[in-house]
Amino acid sequence: MKMLIKNSKVISHSTNGYFNILIEDHLIRKITTNIPEADIVIDASNLITIPGIIDMHAHLREPGYEYKETLKTGLMAAVHGGVTTLGIMPNTNPSIDNLKIANNIKTRAQAYNLARPIIIPSLTKNRAGKELNNIKLLIKNGYKFFSDDGNPIYDAKIMFESLTILKKFNGIIINHCEDTRFKNTDLFESLMVARDVELSKYTGARVHIAHISTSNTIDLIKYAKSENINITCEVTFHHLLLTNREKDPLKKINPPLPDIQTQKKLIENLEHIDIIVSDHAPHSFEEKNLEYENAPNGISGLDVFFPALCSISKKYNIDLEKLIEKVTYQPAKIFNLNNIGDIKEGYYADIVLVDTNKTWDGKIFSKGKNLPYKQLHGKVILTIVNGEIKYDGRK
């Protein structure tokens, strides 16, 4: 069956302008100014067509915390927000720390046939930071990205050993950099970032710094890039849009939201920040309704990914094209994700149609309703994954 998207403004790394896109057998077959014949024709006049968003940092809670989120509800939230590829973090119960659990989650997530799941197993057993998992076996079976997620890798020797192994396979460690001994200081994040920069420089292995949030970290990232060290990093859209001077439990997140000055520096240094993520962290209403000190960290985010991106563009007068690059082409490049992240002939038809003149529809498919956003610019109209419509906002 052939599907045609016609009359749309396309924004992507390889294709920009007004084109018609022909989809067949799950692939982008033709990008043309002509109008080919098709079984399904989607008139995208007045809409923008972008590659499917790649979000490499999300928590879907299953197994163990299904009252917060399930694979199905998380993946539904993803396509609602324009996300077609999703990195699933291992902070579950039990942790995704062995091949059996990783394969089980992957198979079940794929069966829902929504967003593409990328399972990110933990680096150490039970995410405890004491003993390395059998990462060679996991790599042999196709898993190349590892993270203990909210648990930093405190032990420099374990970090060194794992980097030495992963260097041989071009694998990546995604590290939550935090030294709790320096909580409430500017050093809490950057001390571990500095260590990881040195370890990456020494081993030549790849480290991806999760959700950066401080001025010191930005300076270290800029240094690492100037020295061609294999360091990449991400920022959440929450850290670019929100502050939390009022100590609102809905805005409680780790790392904490920045003050205005630090947020300004994050925005001014976006060119040095490789990708933008949601750090989707759903919680129940009862949990987030506690006093601030007792409420858990985390903001739900998948449902509003594109609207948040559009809001950043409008708030700071940043070209939307630059932001689209950081959630499509850049993550595909960093994580070696073949044939996605771009609108290009021969690539998988992971495509999102959006309307930047409308506002977020207010719907939340995630079980986690812990979103502090009242209104956001931009609306996802249609999400296509692998050539099939997975979310239709026209209905």
Residues with catalytic function: 279
Distance in angstroms (rounded) separating the CA atoms of residues 236 and 234: 7
| Cis check: omega of the bond before 152, within 30 degrees of 0 | no
Alpha carbon 34 to its chain's center: 35
In the chain, what is the straight-line distance between the N-terminal and C-terminal CA atoms, in Å? 22
Q: From start to end of the chain, where are the E strands?
A: 2-11, 16-24, 27-32, 40-43, 48-51, 53-58, 83-88, 116-119, 145-146, 172-175, 206-209, 231-236, 275-277, 351-359, 377-385, 388-392
Alpha carbon 91 to its chain's center: 16
Distance in angstroms (rounded) separating the CA atoms of residues 251 and 236: 13
Distance in angstroms (rounded) separating the CA atoms of residues 33 and 31: 7
Alpha carbon 239 to its chain's center: 14
Q: Give the residue carrying structure tokens 């924004």.
A: 11
Q: Give the residue carrying structure tokens 């073949």.
A: 338
Looking at the DSSP assignment, which residues form a beta bridge with residue 49? Answer: 10, 353
